[in-house]
Amino acid sequence: MNQLAEKLNAVLDSTCVGGLLSNYGRRMYVPKGIIVQSAEAKKQASRFNATIGVALEEGSAMCLSSVKEFFSPSLKVGEIFPYAPMGGVPALRSLWKDRMFEKNPSMAGACISMPVVAAGLTNALSLVCSLFVDEGDSVVLPKMYWENYDLILDEQRQARKVLFDNFSYSKEGVAGFNVSGLDAALSSTGDKAVVILNFPNNPTGYTPTSEEALEIEEVLKRYSNSGKKLVVITDDAYFGLFFEKDVCKESLFARLCNCSENLLAVKCDAATKEEMVWGFRVAFITYGCKGFSEELYDALVQKTMGALRGTLSCCSTSAQNILVKGMTDSSYYEEKTAAVEKIKLRYDALKSSLSKYSERRDLVPLPFNSGYFMSFECSCNAEDLRHLLLDKYCTGVIRLDDHHIRLAFSSVDLKDIPALIDTVYIASAELK
């Protein structure tokens, strides 16, 4: 094993992270090669700097005018073309961390890592799983999850998924998030487990209530305090899109980042949906663990940046700098509030449109209160319904499994939502 990796392991082995890192994670480090040496030269090589593979002219990146003209005049050449630092543009990392505290007031005073920039949520989740998941490791998550988890967990890492139903049920029907199912799933794992919780959930569009979030925290704290080492990944891709009063409007990361010395909380979030810049592919990885010092976080960040260096090296410089300028613009908060309100209006229209079908049992909506999506449980075959909607009604939905479909109401104009719901129910009736 490389000596740099061994030094980082020596720092982390006094914490729960030492027992949580995968074999890959233990081997990871940032090499003192081109990137590190170039960073040193940037500070000290005032005469000649012949370190980095970038074409420069009079100290600025050489570029083609036909490309540069498509960028805003407010972006300098140095904010567009050069490589970004491995961990991301420092101004964006600091800004994202500050905004994280603003959005999650209960985190006040918590000691967390500086966010590391990744190339979208998929990349962020994949990097974290590389660092903490070995073949056969237990990964606990609800049964209805984003399909990319299969590629990340099954095909790439051959993990052991431990699944539980998303919702608990009472005599009256769906009761809410299945906290007891999470508890039972954790009880079936060994001394180490990884937990992935995605809220607002894709595909169901459900976020726990404040009471349910507290219950989730208590379950995780109980297992970690009993000696089980946990990595809890909060997939916050749709964070901020909360449409009901009783929904927990803070990330679970806020509750978990200082929860237990045996629980490492990892927040994977992104500008993708939060800032409505889907194609920018800018996401963030942030760590939180009770008792962690800056030195410990630095060691963990170094391993994360080593994983970045060995895969995509760094993320888009221009996308990161555009975000910095956009997020610090005087109109930012007003525009973002207005954008979220547009999605909420579609959510409200969807709820209203569904209400007239409340007696129908062939197509039953699962609970949803946030995000981009909602899902139906179908009495018919979901693939048959999808094809009928597509072939006869020119309407696209996603089949999740044999008896569930997903609708992305975020991608349908407000005026069209009533007709969308009518069409889905008409098609379902044809298959009864």
Residue where a domain stops, chosen among 327, 345, 365: 327
Q: Are strands 167-170 and 160-164 parallel, antiparallel or unpaired?
A: unpaired
Tell me which amino acid residue 346 is. Answer: R
The CA distance from 267 to 252, in Å, is 9
What distances in angstroms separate CA 206 from CA 106, 167, 371, 420, 428, one per listed residue?
Answer: 22, 10, 7, 21, 23
What distances in angstroms separate CA 262 from CA 16, 135, 290, 301, one per listed residue?
Answer: 5, 21, 8, 18
Domain of 403: which CATH number?
3.90.1150.10
Q: What's the pLDDT at 172? A: 72
- Position 61 in a domain: no
The CA distance from 310 to 302, in Å, is 12
Residue where the block lists tokens 């990595």: 231
Q: What's the pLDDT at 43? A: 78
Residues 379, 323: one domain?
Answer: no
Residues 318, 336: one domain?
Answer: no
Which residue, 262, 259, 145, 161, is CA-closest to 213? Answer: 259
Residues 321, 338: one domain?
Answer: no
- Position 150 in a domain: yes
Residues 145, 208: one domain?
Answer: yes
Q: What's the pLDDT at 34? A: 67
- Position 398 in a domain: yes
Count of structural domains, the chain: 2
Residue where the block lists tokens 């800032």: 275
The CA distance from 67 to 30, in Å, is 32
Residues 345, 318: one domain?
Answer: no
The CA distance from 230 to 242, in Å, is 27
Q: What CA dihedral angle connects 205, 210, 214 and 216, to 10 degrees?
A: -10
Residues 160, 192: one domain?
Answer: yes
Residues 370, 234: one domain?
Answer: no
Which residue, 1, 63, 57, 5, is CA-closest to 31? Answer: 5
Inter-residue contact 277 to 291 (CB < 8 Å): no
- Position 60 in a domain: no
Residue where a domain stops, chosen among 292, 312, 327: 327
The CA distance from 195 to 149, in Å, is 12
pLDDT tens per residue across all 432 residues of the chain: 899 999 999 999 999 999 999 999 999 999 886 667 777 777 776 677 777 777 777 777 877 888 888 887 888 888 888 889 889 999 999 999 999 999 999 999 999 999 999 999 999 999 999 999 999 999 999 999 999 999 999 999 999 999 999 999 877 777 799 999 999 999 999 999 999 999 999 999 999 999 999 999 999 999 999 999 999 999 999 999 999 999 999 999 999 999 999 999 999 999 999 999 999 999 999 999 999 999 999 999 999 999 999 998 889 999 999 999 999 999 999 999 999 999 999 999 999 999 999 999 999 999 999 999 999 999 999 999 999 999 999 999 999 999 999 999 999 999 999 999 999 999 999 997
Taking the mean position of all CA atoms in its chain, how far away is CA 41? 35
- Position 58 in a domain: no
Residue where a domain stops, chosen among 288, 309, 327: 327
Residues 6+ apart with CB under 8 A from 151: none
Each residue of 235-263: b (16+ CB within 10 Å) or e?
A: bbbbbbbbbeeebbbbbbbbbbbbbbebb
Inter-residue contact 368 to 205 (CB < 8 Å): yes
Residues 282, 347: one domain?
Answer: no
Residues 146, 249: one domain?
Answer: yes
Domain of 183: which CATH number?
3.40.640.10
- Position 295 in a domain: yes
Q: What are phi and psi of 417, to 5 degrees?
A: -65, -45
Q: How many CB atoms lie within 10 A of CB 363?
A: 22
Residues 118, 165: one domain?
Answer: yes
Q: What's the pLDDT at 198? A: 98
Q: What is the DSSP string of 171-239?
A: TTEEEEE-HHHHHHHHHTS-SEEEEEEESS-TTT----BHHHHHHHHHHHHHHHHTT-EEEEEEE-TTT
- Position 81 in a domain: no
Residues 349, 303: one domain?
Answer: no
Residues 359, 290: one domain?
Answer: no
- Position 70 in a domain: no
Q: What's the pLDDT at 321? A: 95
Q: What is the DSSP string of 383-431?
A: HHHHHHHHHHH----EEEETTEEEEEGGGS-GGGHHHHHHHHHHHHHHT
Tell me which amino acid residue 417 is. Answer: I
Q: What is the domain range of residue 190?
A: 3-30+86-327
